[in-house]
Structure 1
Amino acid sequence: MPRIHHALGVHFHQPPENIKFLLSVNREEALSILRCYTRPLRHLSNRAAAVNMSISGVLINQLLSVHVDGLEEELHVVLKKYASLPNVEVLATGFYHPVFPLIPEDDWKPHITRWVRLAERVGFKFNGFWPPELGFTMTMIPVLSEMKFKYVVVDGRYIEGCGPDGAYRPHVAEYSGAEITVIPRNERFSRILAGGIDAASFVKALKSETSRFRGNLLVTTWFDGENGDWIRGTPSGNFWDSFFESYVSLLEGDGGIALTSISSFLRENPPEDRVNVRTGAWRTFSNDGEFFTQWVGLEEQRRALARVWEASLRLKKIRALIGNGESSCAVELQVAEEHLLRAQTSCNFFWEDKWLHKVYEELLLVDLHLNQVAEKAGLVKG
């Protein structure tokens, strides 16, 4: 029986319209990214090796609608095939990929609900939640619990109140009477896999790091599935062709390690302790993640985020005033909300002044539609 259970996770995301944009300005780069979505399928079909995936709703939407010559398979077919594979566990996430702790709580459920509706249309089944950028706060627990998620992946650095082996166990976190299982993502092993390593060295490192612990251990790794030369592919290989194939072969002859889906591990190894999880996100470049410096470290980013909060509050007030009124107002409000959620895309803040204009462009459209609602409903603008 395996002692080390490796939940290998990859995260896929592209901001709104980015695939079409890249195809128009740099087709080769676009194709190298799109192959990151098709390549895993070759290695996961007709085998038992389990992989966990999180896919943003805005990316799912693009893959369903974009046709690209030069790929071995239509992208919408690839999505359907992932949904049909028993060894692929898909996790829910926010539709437009927001950093949840930074946006208004009123907007959390709209992001998640949109993702759920689209994912169900594709055929995905899901039990867990992946917070974009691993941005998590305990105040999210009641919403996630209400929406029937069994577990959430968090940055293991922020878990408090567990023993020395806590990085390799699931835990329970509670907030305001609601509970959820938290899965610690291992930063060190995630970075090793994303940066490039041979399978034998990785197996050796896993065993060495966990040798002092007893019982069944869960090592959860997660990284962006389309970023970096090692992931996209180099002349000497890529993660899936060079590492994954060798890794699976090694594990078939090694009874001490097995690839697993998170749900499978939890069925046999439910959490036994309760922990606290500090608010934070994963590490990016030189930014630690705990204070969200990548997204709000600059005054310009904070100003843009403040405008997002103002727009969200205005939408909430107008919606409360008109209630279940004229249907045309309801449609306008829905469109306004869509632009508000698009403004919250993490990439808009991540890339600083190169992308912050996208926040304001979306918020202009929010104001436009809210002004139209106010006029139709006889409300004073503002």
Structure 2
Amino acid sequence: MKQGNNQNKGGPSRLLVFILAVGVFGIINTEMGVVGILPRIAKTFHVSVPFAGWTVSLFALIVALSAPVMPVLFSRINRKAVMLLSLGIFTLSNLVSAFTDSFTIILIARAIPAFLHPVYVSMAFTVSAESVSRPEAPKAVAKIFIGVSAGMVLGVPVTSFIAGAASFSSAMLFFAAVNVLVLTATVLFVPSLPVREGFSYGAQLGVLKKKMIWQSILAVTMINAAMFGFFSYMSDYLGVVTGVSYEVISVVLLVYGLANIIGNILAGRLLTMNAARCAASIPFILLASYTLLFVLGNMPGPAAAIVFVLGILAGIASNSMQYMIMDAAHEAPDFANGLFLTSANLGTTIGTSVCGLFISFFNTRYALLGSLLFLAAGIVFIFLRNRSVITFTS
């Protein structure tokens, strides 16, 4: 499936990918930015902090459930129209959130754009890959992942700073401003992007008959569970096991996020050189790194160095996982990217829950054991997937 105004090289393609990456940053920022201001949300709307947490969990739940469906429904609509609709809804929802005094309205304003989150992000992966020549596609997709990482890394501290210096409403207006900026750039600089040779909905859903797609989904779910299962408790691990201060933890988490962006850049090059080898080897390197952290986690210097490496590996792994599912269902790119988003979100939910159980039954250090078990399962599914590839090609 190619876009009508596609150009394999040059300024237009680079500008399009940049706009999509910033757009993804704004959308991920809207999703994750409120994590750092839950106490302020609770105080502003007179609810408990756990209840304020619904502004995060409801958004994530809707993304996970709608990701396989919504991208398919929008897959035959002009890409530019989809971009403008998504950005418009996100802008409007943030403006409503900024000026309402009702927590119920906040939840509704968070829920509605969550349905379009997988539509925009999935489309961004697809359009970025189609805007360049096929060998360069991993590099283009990696730039979208930089937007994802930046949204997760910068969203929380920037939002916390704005809310702390001004107000909750100011933080919501920051979200809206980013979305308006991208919406304006889309209107001015993105040409019409009609879908050419679109596949029917039935043909796209038909990829679910392939054994390799299910093996890829399970591999992605397990690997993401390993990464986010530990990441969810990384600050607790650094405080309890490594024994560093809150200030140091904040610095290490920032370093992890920046390393994740570096990993995304490296992933574009590695996947371009040999995608299959990169996807197959990264879980083993993650396994070795988590094992090393389990052994040396009580030593601040080595622990910080390993966390930096894990940040890079997580960036590479995210790109590799998207490649695995896209490669298994390349004939239905929008649906494939939707499946990737569902698998990733499902893995995050499972990993956080299971690693939390290891902490409850043992102690914080054993959150890593949960990650190691998930990685072992991921390696098995990648092996089965690769065997299916060999069987299919032979």
> Do the two structures share a fold, i.e. TM-score over 0.5?
no
Larger Rg: 1
More strand by share: 1
| TM-score (normalizing by structure 1) | 0.30
TM-score, normalised on structure 2? 0.29
The higher-RCO structure (CA 8 Å, 6+ apart) is 2
